């Protein structure tokens, strides 16, 4: 009876990152630089707050939008760090990770046939949800503009069906960030149009030069922008599943219904831990950022010394070098790297067809692993050169 299952669900696929990760599980002694998950433990204060929540029996449902104390902490965090102001009472929703925030946002704003603009290569978490909503992903190729969505490229992709533009910066998989000027140019294109912006800022605390900017800081854009953030990357809390939606009340009042019927509320225990993360453990992202920056510099230097063409990333914890010169698909290249060099990276094709010809390395790993990974890649590339 499989044919009776929802066609849209049948037609989407498991993310290419996960598929590749599962496929390589059988190989021994692999150095894997595949997963975008911080290797630091969750800060100890935060873990203690979670344990305390269990001992104190605060293990029941919370307000659908999340505990007010957490919404206040999240709102204060955004204000202090990025000068964004959201009213904790009705402009903030605590979600089960940024993933659920993406789902709730798209299901609130999208309808059959409307279009969503995605700068590609792009994180694979948007397209399937857009398709589940019956909407149409419109990829804008950003390979020739340093992986940046330019105002010009955006303007030429807009049609009367465009309902939303996704701004996923700092970017997974490229690590590229947008400057205030670039965001202003994009805002100039969008400000008079009835188009929403989904600004996925999950890596906002991982910006290595200067500071993070959000398009919602631009007054003309605030009313049409949904900001997504969360604690997975900034506080090394991927398994706690805490994300946030920030938007004007006329949007959150509808997103809250989608969120409520989906998960009721984010896990209460995690919410207590999250309050601690945003108050007591505020300094944790700075410490991790410092380490990631050192790792980024190391891996970037190694890749360029190997002769690979790679954009210098300003944020997140990924590098996205070009490997098209080896004349094979990114999947076949990555598979050979696994088999012949004992190194796992993600094929660029996991990030839409525009990622073909690239591989993604995550540097959310220890220096020892990064060094060993780079050594293995170097030996592999030297063999490739000799073979040619
Ligand atoms: C750009 C981007 N958005 C959202 C997510 C999902 O984050 P979470 O684990 O909080 O659901 C990820 C995870 O890798 C990501 O890279």
Please tell me the CATH code under which domain 58-278 is placed: 3.40.640.10
* Confidence label for 19 from pLDDT (cuts 50, 70 and 90): confident
Cβ–ligand 1 distance for 229 under 6 Å, the answer no
Q: Give, in degrees to the nearest 5, the angle at Cα 178 between 177 and 179.
A: 125
Average pLDDT score over residue span 35-64? 95
Residue nearest to atom 16 of ligand 1 (CA): 172
Topology (CATH level 3) of domain 2-41+284-387 = 3.90.1150
Extents of the domains making up the chain: 2-41+284-387, 58-278
Mean pLDDT of 278-285: 88
Asked if pLDDT for residue 280 goes beyond 90, the answer is no
- Angle between helix 249-263 and helix 97-109 axes, rounded to 10 deg: 120
143 φ/ψ angles, rounded to the nearest 5 degrees: -65, -30
Q: What's the Rg (C-alpha) of the chain?
A: 21
Q: CA 201, CA 258: separation in Å to the nearest integer?
A: 21
Average confidence score pLDDT of the chain: 96
pLDDT for the residue numbered 328 = 94
Q: Quick one: average pLDDT of 35-58?
A: 95
pLDDT in tens, 75-120: 999 999 999 999 999 999 999 999 999 999 999 999 999 999 999 9
Report which DSSP code applies to 252: H
Ligand 1 pocket check for 201: Cβ under 6 Å: no
Report the percentage of the chain scoring pLDDT > 90: 92
282 pLDDT more than 90? no
Mean pLDDT over 218-230 rounds to 98
Instruction: Give the pair of three-digit tokens for residue 229.
Output: 């953030």
Q: Is residue 361 helix, strand or coil?
A: strand
Asked if pLDDT for residue 388 goes beyond 80, the answer is no
Ligand 1 atom at minimum distance from 241 CA: 10
Hey, which residues does 362 pair with through a beta bridge? Answer: 318
- Mutation to probe ligand 1, out of 16, 34, 198, 202 (largest number of atoms < 8 A from CB): 202
* 259 pLDDT more than 80: yes
What pLDDT, on a 0 to 100 scale, did the predictor assign at position 321? 98
Please say if the pLDDT value at position 65 is more than 80: yes
Which band of pLDDT confidence, cut at 50, 70 and 90, is reported for residue 16? Answer: confident
What pLDDT is recorded for position 73? 98
- For residue 243, the ligand 1 atom closest to its alpha carbon is 10
Mutate to test the pocket of ligand 1, among 100, 104, 122, 125 (most ligand atoms within 8 A of CB): 125
For 331-350, the pLDDT digits (tens) are: 999 999 999 999 999 999 99
CA 57 – ligand 1 centroid, Å? 30
């Amino acid at each position: 009876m499989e044919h009776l299952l929802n066609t849209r669900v049948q037609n989407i696929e498991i993310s290419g990152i996960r598929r590749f990760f599962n496929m390589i599980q059988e190989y021994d002694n692999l150095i894997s630089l595949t997963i975008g998950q911080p290797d630091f433990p969750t800060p100890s204060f935060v873990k203690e707050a979670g344990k305390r929540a269990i001992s104190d029996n605060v293990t029941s449902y919370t307000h659908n939008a999340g505990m007010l104390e957490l919404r206040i902490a999240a709102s204060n965090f955004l204000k202090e760090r990025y000068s964004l102001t959201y009213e904790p009472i009705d402009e903030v929703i605590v979600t089960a990770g940024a993933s659920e925030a993406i789902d709730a946002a798209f299901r609130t704003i999208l309808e059959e046939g409307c279009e969503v603009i995605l700068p590609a290569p792009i994180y694979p978490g948007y397209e399937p949800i857009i398709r589940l909503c019956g909407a149409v992903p419109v990829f804008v190729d950003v390979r020739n503009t340093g992986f940046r969505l330019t105002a010009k490229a955006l303007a030429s992709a807009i049609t009367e069906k465009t309902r939303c533009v996704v701004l996923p910066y700092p970017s997974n998989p490229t690590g590229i960030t947008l400057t205030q000027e670039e965001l202003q140019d994009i805002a100039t294109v969008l400000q008079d149009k009835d188009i929403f912006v989904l600004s996925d800022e999950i890596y906002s605390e991982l910006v290595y030069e200067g500071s993070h900017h959000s398009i919602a800081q631009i007054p003309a854009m605030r009313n049409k922008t949904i900001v997504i953030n969360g604690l997975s990357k900034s506080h090394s809390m991927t398994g706690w599943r805490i994300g946030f939606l920030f938007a004007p009340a006329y949007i959150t009042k509808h997103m809250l219904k989608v969120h409520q019927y989906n998960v009721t509320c984010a896990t209460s225990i995690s919410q207590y831990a999250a309050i601690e993360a945003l108050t007591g453990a505020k300094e944790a992202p700075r410490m991790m950022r410092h380490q990631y920056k050192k790792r980024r510099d190391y891996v970037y230097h190694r890749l360029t010394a190997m002769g690979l063409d790679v954009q210098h990333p300003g944020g997140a914890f990924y590098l996205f070098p070009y490997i098209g010169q080896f004349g094979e698909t990114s999947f076949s290249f990555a598979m050979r790297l696994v088999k012949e060099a004992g190194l796992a990276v993600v094929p660029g094709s996991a990030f839409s067809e525009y990622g073909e010809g690239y591989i993604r390395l995550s540097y959310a790993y220890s220096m020892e692993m990064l060094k060993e990974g780079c050594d293995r890649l170097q030996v592999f590339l030297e063999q490739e050169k000799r073979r040619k």
